[in-house]
Structure 1
Amino acid sequence: MDSADLDKLNDKDKAELRQFITNEQQRTRLQAQTHTLTDTCWKKCVTGPIKSGSLDKTEQVCMASCVERFMDLNLLTTQLLTNKMRK
C-alpha cells in the first residue's frame, strides 16, 4: 500500500489502519522482549542438559527469579524515563 492508496481511505479506515499498525508494533516489541528475556535467563539458569524433559528445581527457581528481576528492572526503567520526560 503506497501513499496514493492511503489517500483513498476514509477517516475511519485510516484510524483503523493506524490502530492496527500500533498494535502490530506493540506485539513485535513484546515478542522481542520475550525473546531477550528467554535468552538471557536461559543462559544464566540452565547450565547443563535437561535430563528429565523439564527444568530441575534449582533451574526453575533461577528462571522465576530472573524473570522477576527483568520485569522489575523494566518497570523501574519505564518509570524513570517517564519521570524524566515530565520534567
Structure 2
Amino acid sequence: MSDAKFDAATQAELAKFLEMQQAEVRMNTQAHKFTSMCWDKCITGSIGGRFSRGEEACLVNCVDRFLDTSLAIMKRLQNQQGEHS
C-alpha cells in the first residue's frame, strides 16, 4: 500500500463526509433513545393487538416532539455546515 497524501480539497471533502456520517450516527442514536423513552413513558399495559387510546395519544405526542427536535437539530447542522463552507 502506498503512503499517498491527499491534497487540501480532498482532505476537506473527506472531513465533510466524516462529519456528515457522524451526524447521521448521532441522529440514529437519538432516534433509538427517543423510541425507548417514548415506549417506556407511554406503554403502561401489556402488549396486545392495539394500544389503548391514552397510549396512542401519548405515542403520537412523543413522536411529534421527537420530529420537532430532529428538524431543529438538522437545521442547526445545516447552518453549521454553511458557516464552515
Match of 1:28 among 10, 25, 28: 25
Determine the structure 2 residue equivalent to 1:68. 64
Which of 5, 9, 33 in structure 2 is aligned with 1:8? 5
Superposition CA RMSD, Å: 2.6
In the alignment, structure 1 residue 58 sits paired with structure 2 residue 54? yes
Q: Distance in 1 between matches of 2:20 and 2:69?
A: 24
Gaps in structure 2 of 5+ consecutive residues? 77-85
* TM-score, reference length from structure 2: 0.63
Structure 1: gaps (5+ residues): 80-87
Paired amino acid for 2:14: L
Residue identity in the other structure for 2:62: C
| Displaced runs of 4 or more, over 6 A | none
**Does 2:50 align with 1:43?**
no
Compare relative contact order (CA 8 Å, sep 6+) and give the higher one, 1 or 2.
Answer: 2
